[in-house]
Amino acid sequence: MPRWVLHVDLDQFIAAVEVLRRPELAGLPVVVGGDGDPSKRGVVATASYEARAFGVHSGLPLRTALKRCPDAVFLPVDKPAYEAVSDDVMMTLREFGTVEVLGWDEAFIDAGAAGDDDPEATARSIQRRVREATDLDCTVGIGENKLQAKLATGFGKPAGVATLTYDSWFDVLGESSTDALWGVGAKTAKKLAELDIHTVRDLATTHPDTVAKRFGPTIGPWLVRVARGVASARVSGEAWLARSHGKEFTYQHDLEHWDEVVREVTRLAHEVAGEVVAEGRPAVRVVVKVRYAPFFTSTHGHKLAEPTSDADALAAAALVALARFTDRRPVRLLGVRAEFGA
DNA sequence: TCTGGGGTCCTAGGACCC
DNA sequence: TCTGGGGTCCTAGGACCC
């Protein structure tokens, strides 16, 4: 008997949370992103299904969303609100087994640990409990490993249950383009197409060495395994340990003067220091990111002489990294990231 | 389409050492 | 000093995901 992995994904999570606390928004096109002002620089975090009907989707510039759907309700991103609801959801999911959290609105559940021979029934129970506890709908994907479960969810949206197994993998996905796979984006799909690999089946039947020549010894064979539906079924309930914390900010008006850039990097470094302190582990390296107005981005880092959580030391390191930027064109975005040791 | 912010992981190349 | 090969560390960048 296969060991089942379940993947739970909340439907239009952020928009749904907003509708929950403002029921008058139900049924309206709702777009959440930036600070809620669609005339500013920013992108859509989530659009309700009603807004999606107008071609508004995650990642779309807010200004474009406004053009496509002028009557939409635009709301600012309210992180703490989503985190609070997410915590409720995850707590509910833990009633069913080990939970591996993937983000605010996604998790794997190892329901097989309970000797589950009817994962569909478990999936329906999960949906019922999540709705009872939070008033939110979710979709559940069932698979023999995490990859299959994750991709199955896409076929169950919204509010449904779908299953993907080694048996059904190629029937369902064989003719799909490679970017349907989890971990394969537009860039990788394009490179694969140059090797005359277009579909999931094409990739699955290519020798791993062929793919490794183009993508390296780790990613190459991994791509072929993913195309075959092969992945880990281990659901880890271990607490997440952050590798880094950062802050970045896109300016409404490009910074024209380098002294402003210096000031802003110092400010961001102090904000990041607050998170490093909260993390309870010292940082070992600081990385500064600069995106110039023509949308060209580069980064420079500086390893700390010794691990530290001290705000002034982190700010000083950020300025050392910043000094390595010699280009003085207008700056659109600045970022500071602190990395923890291994 | 004038293109966010939070992250993670992998790779390639150079430095350095034996 | 015309000049190998391997290992490791560091850094910048690429790609992806939510």
Phi and psi dihedrals of A98, rounded to 5?
-65, 135
pLDDT(A251) > 60 = yes
Q: What is the mean pLDDT of chain A?
A: 94
Residue A342 has what pLDDT? Answer: 75
Residue A120 has what pLDDT? Answer: 96
Q: How far is the CA of A314 from the C1' of C12 (A)?
A: 20
Which nucleotides of chain C have an atom under 7 angstroms from any protein CB? 10-18
- Point out the nucleotide closest to A289 (alpha carbon to C1′): C12
Closest CA to A169 of A118, A228, A113: A228
Q: Residue A3's pLDDT band (boundaries 50, 70, 90)?
A: confident
The first and second tokens of residue A117, run together, are 């021979």
pLDDT tens-digit readout, A279-330: 999 999 999 999 999 999 999 999 999 999 999 999 999 999 999 999 999 9
For A167, A185, A228, the CA distances from A171, given in Å and listed in that order, are: 8, 22, 12
The first and second tokens of residue A42, run together, are 């920013």
A window 131-190: Cβ near strand C (< 7 A): 150, 179, 181-189
Domains defined for chain A, CATH in brackets: 3-11+80-164 (3.30.70.270), 14-79 (3.40.1170.60), 173-227 (1.10.150.20), 244-340 (3.30.1490.100)
The residue-averaged pLDDT of A17-21 equals 95
Residues A142, A162 contacting (CB under 8 angstroms): yes
Residue A111 has what pLDDT? Answer: 78
Instruction: Indicate if A18 belongs to the active site.
Output: no
Residue A302 has what pLDDT? Answer: 95
The residue-averaged pLDDT of A13-26 equals 95
Q: How far is the CA of A313 from the C1' of B6 (A)?
A: 23
Q: Pairing relation of β-strands A138-143 and A161-164?
A: parallel
Residues A106, A87 contacting (CB under 8 angstroms): no
Residue A236 has what pLDDT? Answer: 93
pTM metric for this prediction: 0.94
Q: How far is the CA of A71 from the C1' of B9 (A)?
A: 40
The first and second tokens of residue A39, run together, are 């005339």
pLDDT(A114) > 60 = no
The residue-averaged pLDDT of A92-103 equals 95
In the block, tokens 């600069």 appear at A290
pLDDT(A146) > 90 = yes
Active-site residue identified among A106, A132, A194, A238: A106
Q: Which residues contact A91 (CB under 8 A, 6 or more apart)?
A: A133
- Point out the nucleotide closest to A191 (alpha carbon to C1′): C15
Q: Residue A112's pLDDT band (boundaries 50, 70, 90)?
A: low
- Point out the nucleotide closest to A33 (alpha carbon to C1′): B4
Which nucleotides of chain B have an atom under 7 angstroms from any protein CB? 1-12
Q: Residue A29's pLDDT band (boundaries 50, 70, 90)?
A: very high
